[in-house]
Amino acid sequence: MSKTKTSFKCSNCSYITIKWLGCCPECKEWNSLVENIISQHSSGSTKIYSPNDSAPLMSLSSIDTHEQPRILSHIGEWDRVVGGGLVSGSLIVITGDPGIGKSTLLLQVAYEIAKTKRVFYFSTEESLQQLKGRALRLKATDNNLLFSDTAELTSIISTAQREKPDLVIIDSIQNCYINDSNTLPGSVGQLREAAFQLMRLSKENNITVVITGHITKEGIIAGPKTLEHMVDAVFYLQGEDRWQTRMLRAVKNRFGAINELGFFNMEQNGLQEVPNINAHLISEISHAPGSSLVSIMEGSRPILLELQALTNASKLTMPQRVVSGLDHKQVILIAAILEKYVKIKLSMHDIFFKVSGGFKIKGSESDLGTAFALLSSYFQEPLPEKSIALGEISLTGQIKPINNIGHLIKEAEKFGITTLLIAKNQTIEKTSCVIKRFSNVYELLSLFGQ
């Protein structure tokens, strides 16, 4: 005898309750509880295994590993960030703030790929008239790209299964709904179900599926974080309003490097590639007190960044620390090291600190640049013109070498940098730059007249 028990499980965090609730008490997600029917056998076990159930097993040597073909758009920045073209039969998410340019980018990519492949574009948010308006603006009208404004997922999937295009684009997944589903339209459960069905579509038919997803204020894809786990790759399109530049960042990629960055400018006729982002960044750099230049690796590419510091004697008992683009603790740490070993009273100063161009620095390769920016603002003296600081700083005030310095120096030289500020024991290859070496933070004072 078997009996049936009902419970409700949160599709976001797996919390289980016996009563349906609108909001999950655990993760506070709305409409995420899905009915779960558990059929329990009187013996106590929840499933009886039949001798006919079987999963095929094979050894690695019998698995065919042919190189997966890539679908190229010939938009260089896109192809590079996705890992050298889209992989056939993969499921990919593009996410970003509303209005950042996801639909624009995908229409441009779809248009280029449709020159040689079959591409279907399902616009679940915008009408076909709106889409045509955008396509005219992008001058992307004269090829075989096919459009639909159907938002019902089952129809989308059966069309794709029947027609077998190379690429399916769904803009956006949040606006899709599934007929005859136990989950509520727009709910987290339905989003997961949609992603699961699309995953099967891509894998079973070798169709590449690209979906767009909205992002919440906190910067996560609206809906469950699990969507990120289900798909093959996740790309964020980000940008700063002041800057017309948009950054495409790979945050997960089963077929390429993460943290790879692509750059575009939003212009009258769509997103235009910025292959040489450093030229753009370096044109904005000022040779002023408080400014230092550093370089970091973003994916496979070295990026030149200006650090800007402003230190002012504080009138407050708790001096202010306002930091953007860098972990504020890292700046406070460097300030503390300078205070301890260089004997300057930064703890009595307000510190304002930022990274140019809206970039975020994660590692500690920019420590030396941070120290120089702080000192330069403190003494109101600029650093040597056309100099770059490449080094880490230890808690004991020692300047430490960094990895990958060869790439960083080569890129810096390309943009007219003539002075390298580095650790005493940093090994470097031949360079035409003047080299200034420092073993500890006290020696940094040698650049300032004070």
- Alpha carbon separation from 281 to 223, 290, 307, 343 (Å, rounded): 35, 17, 12, 34
Picked from Mg ion, ligand TYD, none, the partner binding residue 183 (CB below 5 to 8 A depending on kind) is: none
Tell me which of ligand TYD, Mg ion, none is bound by residue 83, counting a contact when its beta carbon lies within the kind-specific cut-off of 5 to 8 angstroms.
none
Q: Which of 2, 144, 182, 269 binds ligand TYD (CB under 6 A)?
A: 269
Phi-psi category of residue 206: left, alpha or beta, with phi > 0 → left and psi -120 to 50 → alpha: left
270 counts as binding ligand TYD under rule CB under 6 A:
yes
Structural tokens at position 348: 């009595």
User: Binder to ligand TYD among 81, 86, 87, 100 (CB under 6 A)?
Assistant: 100
Which residue, 29 or 171, is less far from Mg ion as judged by CB? 171
By the rule CB under 5 A, 123 interacts with Mg ion: no
- Are 191 and 228 in contact by the 8 Å Cβ rule? The answer is no
Q: Which of 31, 73, 104, 419 binds ligand TYD (CB under 6 A)?
A: 104
Q: Which of 102, 117, 192, 249 binds ligand TYD (CB under 6 A)?
A: 102
Query: Binding partner of residue 414 among ligand TYD, Mg ion, none, CB under 5 to 8 Å per kind?
Result: none
Strand partners, 95: 213, 236
Contact in structure between 214 and 231 (CB atoms under 8 Å): no
AA letter at 341: Y
Question: Nearest approach, Cβ of 138 to ligand TYD (angstroms)?
Answer: 6
Which parts of 129-188 interact with ligand TYD (CB under 6 A)? 134, 137-138
Stretch of 101-109, 160-168, 173-181, 197-205 contacting ligand TYD, by CB under 6 A: 101-109
- Partnered with residue 398 across adjacent β-strands are 440
SS3 for 63-124 is CCCCCCCEECCCCHHHHHHCCCCEECCCEEEEEECCCCCHHHHHHHHHHHHCCCCCEEEEEC
Amino acid (one-letter) located at 23: C
Query: What is the contact mask toward Mg ion in residues 388 to 427, using x (rule: CB under 5 A)?
Result: ----------------------------------------
Among the listed residues 126, 186, 116, 167, the one whose alpha carbon sits nearest the alpha carbon of residue 150: 126
CB of 270 to ligand TYD, least distance (A): 4
Q: Which of 11, 31, 95, 103 binds Mg ion (CB under 5 A)?
A: 103
Among 83, 96, 262, 299, binds ligand TYD (CB under 6 A): 96
Three-class secondary structure of residue 374 per DSSP: helix
Q: Give the interface with Mg ion as residue ranges (CB under 5 A).
A: 103
Name the residues that contact ligand TYD, by CB under 6 A: 96, 98-104, 134, 137-138, 266, 268-270
